[in-house]
Structure 1
């Protein structure tokens, strides 16, 4: 299957999946107990006329199918509706908070890739005490949830030592880097341990293969063997964890942003879920699903470029 045909087919599959996800996201919120009208009333009693006016204003009394189709039509045009809690366009809320989340995820992703790959490389190549130390370290990292890491880092480096701010995202690029350092570490800690383990296992598997032994017998230097034959072949296995890494970052950013009051879409999602702000929750959830599927598509397209043994599309049956 050609690259273009594979990309087009995957895009069509993504569109169908995103359509199904939109229906699930839209319907799941209406199955949950409570309703936006209760939040808008603030617990106060209201006359049937006032309650009816609220329902009519937000179209809460319309049939489910009508609400879904109207919402889907607006989303296709880039309109996510109006926030019930903040009384403003959801698109504006996302535009204000998305940069903080993207910065946090980008910083965490850099930490994951640099330290995860480096620790995995060292553990596989060095062995001995270095490998044992890395195994212990990564075990602790994997066993530490993001919200626990956030509390520990905040208490030690922000409250006790005062090296970093206790919360907020800061203004300007330099301030954002300083404010988001601890949240990024808390977000990346688990994934660093996971990626290091995956990289180490993949490289150890390749180290035992015949082509590595043959390269060494031809007098190829150890550094070239590790770089060209071991690490490059192990990258295919490492790349398959890309979807898991992104999905974990998206999920855990909600907890980390809340702990550090970052003011991103993760914290907005938590607050909107609590207040039954349907349009905001639906928009953020749909964006997260779309981002996750996009990353998986990129991984699938890059995999054959890194590992020529991988082919696009389903495997051909033997004659």
Structure 2
């Protein structure tokens, strides 16, 4: 399959998936109990006229199909509507908070890739006690939820030792990196364990392959065997977990941002869900779906470059 044909096919698939996701995202909020009007009234009783005015202002009394297609048309033009809670454009809210979340996810992803690959490689190559120690550490990491890791890290390194801030996002790039270090580690801990185990398993499989045996019999230096024939051949398997890694980061960001009061879109989503801020929840949910699909597309495009045995669109199967 040529690159152009693959790209066109995937673009069409993404468009259809996003359309279906938009319907689910838009309709899901209306199935939940409560309404934006109840939040705006803050528990006060209101006359039927006042309630009707609120519903009319936010088009809550329009038929579902009318609301959906009006919202979809605006989204296609880049207009996500107006936040019911913050009384401002959702696009402005996202523009203010999205950079913080993207920086947090980028830092966490960097930690996951660096530490996860290193631990997996060391465990597979050295074996013995080192392998057992890595397995024990990764078992602890995988068994620690992100919100538990956030509480533990915050209590030890922020409250007791005072090495890092206990919350907030900071001002300026350097200050933001300092503030987001603990949240990034809390976000990355589970995925470090998962990626290390995947890397270890893939490298152990590669170590037992025939071409590695042949390379060793020809006197190829062990370091070169590990680098060119073992680690490189295992990257295809590792890369296929990329979508799972990013999706986990996106989901767990909500918990970590709330614990550290980071003020990104994860915390915004949590607050908007509790206050029935339909436009904000719908916008963030749709963006998360789009990001997840984009990551999977990038993974599919990179796989043939990492492992020439694979073709475009084939995950884990030989081309």
Normalising TM by the smaller chain, what interval?
over 0.9
Show the counterpart of 1:242: 242
Secondary structure of the residue aligned to 2:30 is: helix
Show the counterpart of 2:221: 221
Alpha-carbon separation, structure 1, partners of 2:142 and 2:163: 25
Question: Cα offset for 1:59?
Answer: 0.3
Show the counterpart of 2:2: 2
Secondary structure of the residue aligned to 1:26 is: helix
Secondary structure of the residue aligned to 1:180 is: helix
Show the counterpart of 1:95: 95
Show the counterpart of 1:153: 153
Show the counterpart of 2:191: 191
Show the counterpart of 1:169: 169
Matched, 1:130 2:130: yes
Question: Cα offset for 1:313?
Answer: 4.3
Cα displacement string for residues 81-113 of structure 1 (whole angstroms, at most 9, x for unaligned residues) = 000000000000000001110110000000000
TM-score of the superposed pair, with normalisation by structure 2: 0.98
Segment drifting more, 102-111 vs 306-315: 306-315
List aligned pairs for 1:68-147, cutoff 5 A. Answer: 68-147=68-147
Aligned structure 1 segments of 4 or more residues deviating by more than 6 angstroms: none
Distance 1:26 1:113, change over 3 A: same
5+ residue gaps, structure 1, are none
Cα displacement string for residues 233-271 of structure 1 (whole angstroms, at most 9, x for unaligned residues) = 000000000000000000000000000000000000000
Cα displacement string for residues 25-74 of structure 1 (whole angstroms, at most 9, x for unaligned residues) = 00010011000000011110111111101100000000000000000000
Counterpart contact for 2:80–2:279, Cα < 8 Å: yes
Alpha-carbon separation, structure 2, partners of 1:12 and 1:297: 12
Show the counterpart of 2:308: 308
Question: Cα offset for 1:4?
Answer: 1.0
Question: Cα offset for 1:312?
Answer: 2.3
Counterpart contact for 2:146–2:252, Cα < 8 Å: yes
Alpha-carbon separation, structure 2, partners of 1:301 and 1:156: 42
Counterpart contact for 2:183–2:256, Cα < 8 Å: yes
Question: Cα offset for 1:305?
Answer: 1.2
